[in-house]
Each structure stands twice: as C-alpha cells, then as structure tokens.
Amino acid sequence: MFSLLELLPESTLFNIIDVGASFNPGEPAPYQGFVDAGKARVIGFEPDLAECERLNQTFGSPHRFLPHFVGDGSPATFYETNWVLTGSLFPANTALLEKFQNLAEVVTPVAEHPVETSRLDDLEEIADVDYLKIDVQGAELAVFRGAPRLLAETLVICTEVEFVELYKGQPLFADVDAFLRQSGFQFHRFDGFASRAFKPLVYNNDINAGGGQILWSDAIYVRDWMRLDELSADKLLKYAVLAHDLLHSYDLAHLVLSAFDRKAGSELADLYLGRLTNQ
C-alpha cells in the first residue's frame, strides 16, 4: 500500500506523545514508520530510569524521553513489580491474577514508592499533539483527566484498556470509553485482544495462550468524524495520513480528505479514491 506522507509539506512533523513508552526491543512502537521516515517528533515518558535512557539512546534527537510519572497531578504510590512493564500506580490484584496462567508470575509486587505525578497539560515540553499513545497499567484515565488542553488537539489515541480488574481499583474500559467520547472522540476499533487460560489448563503447551476470558486490549480512538469541519486544514491533512498510514483505515482517510477538500478547495479525496481502486 502506498503512503500519504507525500501529501505533507517537507517540514511537517507529527507530534507524538508516548506515555509509558517502554516496549520489548522486538516489538517496535506503532509509530515507528513515521520515525524512520523522519516525519515525527516523539516526546515519551518512562519513569524507569534505565528504560528511559535506553529509549533516548535508541531514538536519538529530535525525540526525547523523560522519567516522569504522568497522571492527574496528585501524589500517588508507584507499585513496583518484578517486571518493568507491569509496575503501576495501582496495586496488583494478586487474587485475580493467580487464577490465570502466567500473570501473577510477571506482576509480582516488589516495593512501593511515593511519587508525584505530572499532568500532560502542565509539561512545558509539550505544545501540541497529533497522536497519543498510552500504556500505564490501569492508570490511563488519570492521564486523560490531566490533559484536557492536549486532548482538544489530538487526532488519534491508542490506549491500553482492561476489561477485568488486573490492578485493584483501576478504571476499566467502560470508564475510559465514556471519558473519551465526552472529550470529542469516537471509538474506532480494538487492536487485538489479550487473554490467558484459567489455571490449570494450558492450551498447546503455551502458558501465554488465551482461553475464553478477554483481559485487555489496545483501543483506538479518533477525532469525532461527525465534526470534521471544526478542524483546521493542517490538522485534517495530518488526520488523513494517520488514518491511512498508521491505522490502515482507508475509508476514514477518504472521509477526512473530503472534509479537507471542502476547506482547501482541492480534489484530494477523488484522487485518493482513484488510487485505491487502481483507476
């Protein structure tokens, strides 16, 4: 599939915010293609100092990764676990985790640390955002509540959501969904589902293989496509590129390009449709 990055002026960069930026080295970030093309500026937040340093060395300039705990700006407790990817601002729900294969084993409490959280809206490093990725082990809603100004500028959100209480007291998908819909977004789709089998069953000799219970997913939200005319021409063009290149939602990209054409007096939507259909 062709890219729409060619539609953007050469100097245009996507402003990408990544909260909970740590990832396995073998699993590139979803926005890696924009980074490789030199079309992104990433500001990431990863409170684990070693991981934060690794990310800064991996990505280099102009990208920056900072060791902040992002939330709603209030004091909190960080519950450290035996795996850096599973620490949370909520305590592990061990009684629930132990019912499943290989969950309590990788979310084992290690220590508790008092921390101060920072609101995204208060961080001077961030002026604008086009794409927002969040993976903070149950504390996603607090991040959103601390970012009303930035959410008003955001076009696409990828956030981890849980369907059961993996961490005690955490908000679940329904809570996050209600907040984002009230903040001007439409739910777009789930990007895969994560599951584990109830003990003692193991499927295909794989302790990570899922059973019938869905536990978590990445949820994709997009700027309300019923109100596209409220966006600037620049934002509409970025929105279309994100829909095409990042989400592979070609029908959404065409819808957004149609809104861009109404604002710019262009014919990009027709050209795009023709290219999609090889006409």
Query: pTM of the prediction?
Result: 0.96
Q: Tell me the two tokens of residue 229.
A: 């005319």
Per-position b or e across 84-114, b if 16+ CB within 10 A of its CB = eebbbbbbbbeebbeebbbbbeebeeeeeee
**Nearest alpha-carbon partner for 171 in 134, 212, 200:** 134
For β-strands 131-134 and 214-223, DSSP reports them as unpaired
Instruction: Specify whether the CB–CB gap between 255 and 276 falls below 8 A.
Output: no
Tens of each residue's pLDDT in the chain, 279 residues: 999 999 999 999 999 999 999 887 778 889 999 999 999 999 999 999 999 999 999 999 999 999 999 999 999 999 999 998 999 999 999 999 999 999 999 999 999 999 999 999 999 889 899 999 999 999 999 999 999 999 999 999 999 999 999 999 999 999 999 999 999 999 999 999 999 999 999 999 999 999 999 999 999 999 999 999 999 999 999 999 999 999 999 999 999 999 999 999 999 999 999 999 985
Domains of the chain, by residue range, sit at 5-227
Q: What CATH fold (topology level) applies to the domain 5-227? A: Rossmann fold (3.40.50)
Q: In sequence order, what are the beta bridge partners of 221?
A: 157, 187
pLDDT in the model for residue 28? 84
